[in-house]
Amino acid sequence: MPTNCAAAGCATTYNKHINISFHRFPLDPKRRKEWVRLTRRKNFVPGKHTFLCSKHFEASCFDLTGQTRRLKMDAVPTIFDFCTHIKSVKLKSRNLLKKNNSCIPTGPSNLKSNINSQQVLLEHSYAFRNPMEAKKRIIKLEKEIANLRRKMKTCLQKERRATRRWIKATCLVKNLEANNILPKGTSEHILPTALSSLPLEDFKILEQEQQDKTLTIL
């Protein structure tokens, strides 16, 4: 007497009040092997009391000439719902994994993973636990940016002052050379090459531009 269907994902059980028939796996090795292949169950070996229900056979597979419904000699099971079976297996595996994870005791490896998670929260602004922490971080960064802008402005002012001093010193040396107060070629020894090679008129223009910039800033 059959009890249930051997097909993967099939929950049909024997009930004499339901018009579903059960059929043994064929004794012929070739047909038996084909049935096993079509059921797609890993390492499946059917026994004497292994059955498939009539849901897995097309209507053309049955011989209805007698009083009982029998399979034809060449009938093979072709109707299976493997997708449902795969989804149920995946769901069971997922639930089992969650259960196992909840039962894992806290140890050094778990402490290490918690530390790594905290480091990620600190290093990445998008990983803050709540909006208040993100807001505090933004305010702090805005203050740092304002401080860096002040420092950059101070550095630019120092650079402009140093540039004006160099231009004035260069104009003075070249004027002294032009008036024969200093020997010719003095500027080549005491000034950088980039400055000593420029004519006096260009330095006067640069000096005037620097003065105009200073007045504009003031």
pLDDT block averages, 10 residues each, the chain of length 218: 78 82 89 89 86 89 83 88 54 54 52 56 56 85 93 90 80 80 74 62 66 58
| pLDDT at residue 214 in the model | 56
Q: H-helix or E-strand containing 22?
A: strand 22-24
Give the CA diameter of the chain: 137
How far apart (Å, rounded) are the C-alpha atoms in residues 114 and 89?
A: 31
| Domain extents in the chain | 1-81, 131-216
Q: Assign residue 185 a region (left: φ > 0; alpha: ψ between -120 and 50; beta: otherwise).
A: left
Q: What is the pTM of this model?
A: 0.38
| pLDDT at residue 148 in the model | 94
Packing angle between helix 131-178 and helix 200-217, nearest 10 degrees? Answer: 140
| pLDDT at residue 123 in the model | 52
Strand 51-53 relative to strand 22-24, pairing:
antiparallel
Degrees, nearest 5: CA angle 96-100-102: 120
| pLDDT at residue 84 in the model | 54
